[in-house]
Each structure stands twice: as structure tokens, then as C-alpha cells.
Amino acid sequence: MIKVEQLSKHFGKTQAVDNISFEVKEHENLILLGTSGCGKTTTLKMINRLIEPTSGEIFIDGKDILEQPPEILRRGIGYVLQNNGLFPHYTVAENISIVPQLLKWDKKRIEKRISELLEKLHLSDDCRQMYPAELSGGQQQRVGLARALVADPAVLLMDEPFGALDNVTRSKIHAEFKVLDELKRKTIIMVTHDVQEAFELGDHICLMDKGKILQDGRPSNLLFNPANAFVQDFLQEQRLQLEFKTIKLNDIWRWLPILQKENKTKVLPADTDLWTGLEQFKFASSETITIHHDSETKSASFEQLMAAFYQYKKQQAHE
């Protein structure tokens, strides 16, 4: 869907982006991860031509992005900014309808689409006539997202979209983000410096440093097969939590015992991550949990889960 080839950007003598290539498949969610100044935002902005590359090519759907005028290109790409970038002099409804108006939709269609989005993003209809300054940070970010989604673009670019939110609001929005059907149809490139967020939302992560991609792969690849010491160090601090969140119950399926007798505990699907599995003990105070996979059902206690996790890690290290 999106293909980036040998892309470079110099600002004077600074090499902001240094000959990088990557690919994002349709409906995939790619995260550009890295510290400030690693070139991730510059890379993102080259995709909708907010920044023109020094060299290299970008294709969307097989078409070189330089083929069409930048304004037309941008109207087909959703863009969400860290500080939401809402127009302070426009109401929520007007903010959302900017792109449809540029695309010359008729009024009814715009109204209908706004109502639909407000509902999906859990914004009340009263918001319509409010100005951005009257909304909370979380609401503003939702409006920013609605504005990017309104014309249903195939591609969505997000520049630290949740960076300005507090932790509670952020995890709430993360949860909504994951289940929003609108987003499932999109090919998304998101920039973040937050490792947790990258692992939670990304199908695919490009870890960048000093303008180069150090590793490009699934979250579990980065965790268990780091390409170099930098990647390892980058994840080190939150390693345990990341591992719990990345490993699914079916990854450790073979080390779990078969269910002996029925009990009343909640049944979890096997694609649940280990973190959620472990959380059951904390909140349900049941001795074991029950996991369902295909036709098989297994159960495990806290100790049994941890033992299986340990086995899994041992095996990963040998591979």
C-alpha cells in the first residue's frame, strides 16, 4: 500500500533522514518509534509532502506521490497532530467539515457524516457548536481524529496523536482506538516515542535513530530478536511489561495443562495477551483461569502461567 524507497532528507548539513526504506501493507498499522530528533516525524511529513525529500521515492497504491499536486494528495490522506491543530475560530462541526468542503461535498452529506463520527468517537451532539477551547484535551483529540477520518481516506498519518494526553485519558483512547471500525479499514503510519503505545497499537514497528531504521519488524521480533544492542537497550526499561503484553496465551499454549474438570471461572479466548491473563487473578481472585483455543480448553493457575512464560522465553532464546 505505502512503499518508501531510499528516502533521505538533509537540513543544511544535518542528515535528518538517511536513506531509509520500508513498506506498509494495506490495513496495517506501522509505528515509527524513536527518541526526539531521530527523524521519525520528518519521515511522516514527507509522506503527505509537508516536507519534500532530498532524495528517494514514496509510492501510495503504486503511484508516485509527486504525480499529483500536493493539495490533492493531502485531501486523500488523513492527518492527526500531537497538539490537535484544531482551528480555534471554527466550531467542532466546522473543524470536521474542512476536508469535505474542500472536496465540495453537499451539505446534507457532510451533516450526516459528522453525526456518524461524533457518535463513533463518543462525542455528544452538543459539541457540534462548541469551540475547541471549550473541550477537554481528550475531546479535542477525538475531534482531531474525526477531522482526519471524515472523508474516509485510505491512509492515515498520525504524529504523536496521544502525546499531549494524561495517562488515564490516553489508555482510554487507546482502548477505543483498537476497536474503532473506521480505523480497521485504514493503513496507518503513527509516530511515537512511547514504547508502550508502539507495542500496544502497532502491527509493525520501525525503530529509528539518527535518521536510520535500526529494526523493522513485529513487536515480538523487536523484543525477542533485537537486531543490535541499541534496540535491546531501548526496550530494556519496560521489558517485562512489554513481554507480558506482547505474548499471547496461544504462544504459551503447549506448556499449559489440559483442563481437568469444569469450573465457573471466566473463559478467555487464546489470543488474549498474557498481561490480561495475569490481571484476572488480581481482580477475580479465582485460583485458575480457563482458556479456550479451537476445540480445546485449558486452565492455569498464576504459577502455571508464569512457568509457561518462562518456558516460552527459554525457547525463544534458543531460536
Partner 1 sequence: MNEQQTLFDFMRQQSDKLAAQTLQHIGLTFISLFIAVLIGLPLGILITRRRKLSGPVLGVAGVLQTIPSIALLGFMIPVLGIGAKPAIVALLLYALLPIVRNTFTGITGVDPAVKEAAVAMGMSKWQVLFKVELPLAMPVIFAGIRTATVITVGVATLASYIAAGGLGEFIFGGISLNNTNMILAGAIPAALLAILFDFLLSRLQRLNIRKLKTATATLPLLLLLFSSFYFIPSAYGGKLTAGFTPEFMGRQDGNLGLQSKYKLKIHTIVISDAVMYKAAYENQLDVISGYSTDGRLEAYHLVVLKDDKGIFPPYYAAPVVREDALTKFPELENTLNLLSGKINDSIMTALNYRTDYLHQSPEKVAKDFLLDNGLWKPAREVNMGIVRIGSKIFGEQYILASMYSMLIKGYTDYDVATKTGLGGTKICFDALTNNQIDFYPEYTGTGLLAILKPSLKTVDSLTLSKDKTYNYVQKEFQKKYNIKWLKPIGFNNAYALMMRKKQAKDLNIKTISNLKRYLESK
Which position among 42, 43, 48, 246 is part of the footprint of partner 1 (CB under 8 A)?
48
CB of 228 to partner 1, least distance (A): 34
Sign of the alpha-carbon dihedral angle for 241, 242, 245, 246:
negative
74 binds partner 1, rule: CB under 8 A:
yes
Q: How far is the CB of 58 from partner 1 (least distance, A)?
A: 15
Q: Which of 29, 42, 43, 84 binds partner 1 (CB under 8 A)?
A: 84
Residue 175 engages partner 1 in binding (rule: CB under 8 A): no
Question: Exactly one of 62, 71, 104, 229 binds partner 1 (CB under 8 A); which one?
Answer: 71
> DSSP strand E in 73-169: where?
77-80, 155-159
Smallest gap from Cβ 85 to partner 1, in A, equals: 3
Place of cell 516536507: 51
Site for partner 1 in 132-151 (CB under 8 A): 147
Q: How far is the CB of 103 from partner 1 (least distance, A)?
A: 8
Q: What are phi and psi of 273, to 5 degrees?
A: -80, 165
CB 58 within 8 A of CB 45: no
* 248 is an interface residue for partner 1 by CB under 8 A: no
Residues 36, 88, 283, 295: which binds partner 1 (CB under 8 A)?
88
* 8 A C-beta contact, residue 74 and residue 49: yes
Burial group, residue 95, by CB count within 10 angstroms (0-12, 13-18, 19+):
buried
Pick between residue 133 and residue 179 the one whose CB is nearest to partner 1. 133
Contact predicate 142/89, CB 8 Å = no
Distance CA 299, CA 279 (A): 15
Residues in the chain: 319
> Is 267 an interacting residue with respect to partner 1 (CB under 8 A)?
no
Residue 130 binds to partner 1 (criterion: CB under 8 A)? no
Q: Which residues bind partner 1 (CB under 8 A)?
A: 48, 50, 71-75, 77, 79, 81-89, 98-99, 102, 147
